[in-house]
Amino acid sequence: MYYISGKTLCALSYTDDIVLLANNPQDLQKLLDDLCIWCKKWKLILNQNKSSVVHFRGKRVKRDTYQLKIGQNTIEYTGCYKYLGCILMNIWSITLQQHNLQKVDSSSVMHKYKYYPDICYKTFEKMYSN
């Protein structure tokens, strides 16, 4: 989980995508379990083929080996994740992230934001939330 302005952030969602955020695998598994319960209640099915885990870390930190599951199915780890046109790598490197942002699709929210630096992100986010 992450804290922004004193509030806890543990999920990002956009249309039919959801990203769960946690500080450790046990907390992430709890979020996955809660998501499964919510999906069952509303008769939704999670696409196992589109689900994966990225362990963001520094170069010297080994990838976690904790097996995360959606229901009874294990989720595979992956080295990168693309969200809203922005590629996020598991080994954090600000230079690589800047390079990836320069190649972002022009229709993505992040691409539009980098061309309007004078607008605060909260305002920008509201402009594109609909």
29-88 tens-digit pLDDT: 999 999 999 999 999 998 888 899 999 888 888 999 999 999 899 999 998 888 777 777
**Contact residues for 79 (Cβ-Cβ < 8 A; gap 6+):** 54, 89, 90, 91
d(CA 90, CA 80): 6
Q: Write out the two tokens for 77.
A: 């780890």
The fraction of the chain above a pLDDT of 90, given in percent, is 30
For residue 92, what are the contacts with CB-CB under 8 A and spacing of at least 6? 56, 57, 58
